[in-house]
Structure 1
Amino acid sequence: MSIYLDCASTTPVEPAVAQIVRRFTEEDYGNAASPIHDYGCFARMAVDHARGQIAKLVKTRRDDVILTSGATEANNLALLGLREYGLKTGRRHLICSAIEHKAVLEPLEALTKTGFELTVIPVGSDGRILIAALRKALRPDTLLVSTMQVNNETGMIQPLAEIAEVLADHSAFWHVDAAQGFGKELDSITHPRIDLISISGHKIYGPKGIGALITRKRHSEPPPLKPLMFGGDQEQGLRPGTLPVALIAGLGEAARCALRDHSERLEKVRHIRARALSALAPLLPVINGDPAYCLPHVINISLPGIPSVTAIRALAKVIAISSTSACTSHHTAPSHVLNAMGCSEAESSSALRLSWCHLTDDVDWDTVVTTLKQLQYQNPF
């Protein structure tokens, strides 16, 4: 088996999380909406406990946590859920960056078809949002600003503290897609100016199919969201359906472990990153984005002359890697993220994303480099 280096796509499940999920699947399988017996009461307690574990990572209240099927649903609820309020108040201007995930870009594009205007702000060659462009884009009728915490393709940590300063005296709601950074980069999303935070369990060593939208209150009032689905009053009337207790408990445990083991995990992933960069150096890779702002779990490199798909297939028996976001990997179009950063066509078409975690096994970097050198020899540039 090859060594898995695609953790930015999805992570392995932490053993303690798997144990919790198994317990609430096989033994304590009560319905949290039926607290009329011990099974239901214990299920509700488990859900409330998980909310608290999730909330603790962003220093907010457990009742601010709206459980969803993942960050994609959370993004849709955050963005499309403000539609009615925007129409009612006449605030129909939206802002996002050019490097957002499709789970943000496409809901915003959907809003533009119903009378909203979208301003897409550029990023620098370092892969980070240009603060001056954001400041210039803000208008009195701006309803929403949506920015990511960490880019899913490059690992670039975005300047959330600086964005908070720009938005300090503006009433626009601020949504942060934290799918890639939640539980890995802890400080930035604790900023009280952030109104809405989307997270996903399978990015932090938890199960797939579970996530949350964290809705911070402003002046004791939550963001004026409206539900996208109907059929029950679960999750404060914003997300109907029977709660998947096992998955929720797993997400809570993943959040708890992320906070408890943060320093230890960072040490491990930094060691892997240093080893990877040292091993790959003879290939003279182009590093996409500024390494000074990169999450230590990821590197995005280009090896001009070697198409991404060629490298991925050649390395398949050694390491499992990708070139772009998992959600767009079936498309052949160049990465919109790398294009926004000003990368050349050669750099975009030869980009590789390597991502790991504290659970990653040792990599045979010698074989990786030898394989890539052979490809460079066959495809000189």
Structure 2
Amino acid sequence: MGAVVAYLDVAATTRVDPQVADVVLHWMTEDFGNAGSRTHEFGARAKKAVHEARSFLAGTVGAKTEEVIFTSGATESNNIALLGLAPHGEQTGRKHVITSAIEHKAVIEPLQHLKETRGFEVDFLEPGPSGRVSTEAVLERLRPDTLLVSLMHVNNETGVIQPVAELAEELRGTATYLHVDAAQGYGKVPQDLAAPIDLISISGHKIGAPKGIGALVTRRRGWDKVPLSPIMFGGGQERKLRPGTLPVALIMGLYEAVKLFLENRERWERDAREMREQMLAALGKTRFHLNGDASNSVPHILNVTFDGLNAEALIVRLKEQVAIATGSACTSASYTPSHVLMAMGLPAEIASNGLRFSWFPDQVGDFDPHGLAETIAHMQPDVATDR
């Protein structure tokens, strides 16, 4: 197998910057204290560092320091948010939840669990061909017993931005909580997450931090905390919602990665958008279907289906040129049609063969989109390469 020329799968995970790796190593090998140790300087330094990281991350979404708890990533954050709110729903008789059919499995499966084992009613809204769930569609389903709306920020397969900020304003005066899975959007569309969203799940490895670290923002409504119950026990760390020894090195890696990304975000967005335009121009040599609303998408994710070509076969054919995927890394091994594209109502042939290209401009290497397009065009039946 030859060397991969371009890494176009950052929606699955990103490279850890060497500067971030150095920070992680420092807190593993030099300042290696336990942030819960109160009797010596090693622990005091770790505790202070964690507080600084927590305060910084809170500021990125307009939250208070104490409203951020550290987790292993967005999947755990989603589970704490969804399963942790369930006892309040049971106590108050509010067991109705609204979500979308295009959510990540880390949202869909906990909600299915609540539906099947605890009698919750879950509405799975379908977005239509645009891939964007409308605020109106959510509001139409609101009921007096609606406990929660859970809607992702940026879809992990299509890159389509969901109207979470608008929805947060609409729900502000209601008793319904809003949870946002921001794994793909955190840092990329920062203004959205400053809206009054009650619960925000964050994943570090989508933004240059190591795998295994993330956060859950639990924003107060005035003096009232989101009434979460713990789903794990033992130690009482992180407001008793996520017990266990804090991974100081990973937390500091997340802190450093987010700082670096936000410092360079404007350049990142410009370069990512420029690469998107180059990709679409090059793909004009092929016949393809763009999946999702391009006018409401992040600049670094592109989902396309090429006429007459099987996605899995195409990935194999292109593996010497690019690293790409058919969809979520959590389900890509199953070779089933994308549940996201199917929920958008796309024809089975398109939904079964969608390819996701996702990039950070500084991680693609010496990539030539025109060379990629030429390869694809030559594979397509009855397609002229000069189209």
Q: TM-score, normalised by structure 1?
A: 0.96
Q: What is the aligned counterpart of 2:321 among 295, 318, 341?
A: 318
User: Size of the alignment, in residue pairs?
Assistant: 379
1:13 aligns with 2:16: yes
**TM-align CA RMSD:** 1.5
In structure 2, list runs of 5 or more residues that go unmatched.
none
Aligned match of 1:186: 190
Q: What amino acid maps onto 1:322 in structure 2?
A: A
1:290 aligns with 2:293: yes
Q: Measure how far apart 1:303 and its partner are.
A: 0.4
Aligned match of 1:120: 124
Distance 1:108 1:379 in 2: 44
Q: What is the aligned counterpart of 1:364 among 355, 363, 368?
A: 368
Aligned match of 2:348: 345
Distance 1:98 1:22 in 2: 40
- The answer on whether the counterparts of 1:270 and 1:296 sit within 8 Å (CA) in structure 2 is yes
1:150 aligns with 2:154: yes
Aligned match of 1:39: 42
Distance 1:102 1:274 in 2: 30
Q: Is the partner of 1:214 in helix, strand or coil?
A: strand
Q: Is the partner of 2:376 in helix, strand or coil?
A: helix
Aligned match of 1:228: 231
Q: Is the partner of 1:175 in helix, strand or coil?
A: strand
Q: Structure 1 stretches (4+) deviating beyond 6 angstroms?
A: none
Distance 1:107 1:309 in 2: 29
Q: Measure how far apart 1:374 and its partner are.
A: 2.5
1:272 aligns with 2:275: yes
Distance 2:115 2:383 in 1: 44
- The answer on whether the counterparts of 2:73 and 2:202 sit within 8 Å (CA) in structure 1 is yes
Bigger shift: residues 33-42 or 240-249: 33-42
Q: Measure how far apart 1:378 and its partner are.
A: 8.6
Q: Measure how far apart 1:169 and its partner are.
A: 2.9
- The answer on whether the counterparts of 2:308 and 2:380 sit within 8 Å (CA) in structure 1 is yes
Q: What amino acid maps onto 1:80 in structure 2?
A: L
- The answer on whether the counterparts of 2:283 and 2:370 sit within 8 Å (CA) in structure 1 is no
Pair 1:378–1:243, CA change in 2 (3 A): farther
Q: Is the partner of 2:77 in helix, strand or coil?
A: helix
Pair 1:64–1:226, CA change in 2 (3 A): same
1:329 aligns with 2:332: yes
Q: Measure how far apart 1:379 and its partner are.
A: 10
1:174 aligns with 2:185: no
Distance 2:370 2:150 in 1: 42
- The answer on whether the counterparts of 2:183 and 2:206 sit within 8 Å (CA) in structure 1 is yes
Aligned match of 2:76: 73
In structure 1, list runs of 5 or more residues that go unmatched.
none
Aligned match of 1:354: 357
Q: Measure how far apart 1:290 and its partner are.
A: 1.2
Aligned match of 1:159: 163
Q: What is the aligned counterpart of 2:221 among 218, 232, 236?
A: 218
Q: Measure how far apart 1:359 and its partner are.
A: 2.1
1:303 aligns with 2:296: no
Q: What amino acid maps onto 1:136 in structure 2?
A: E
- The answer on whether the counterparts of 1:121 and 1:130 sit within 8 Å (CA) in structure 2 is no
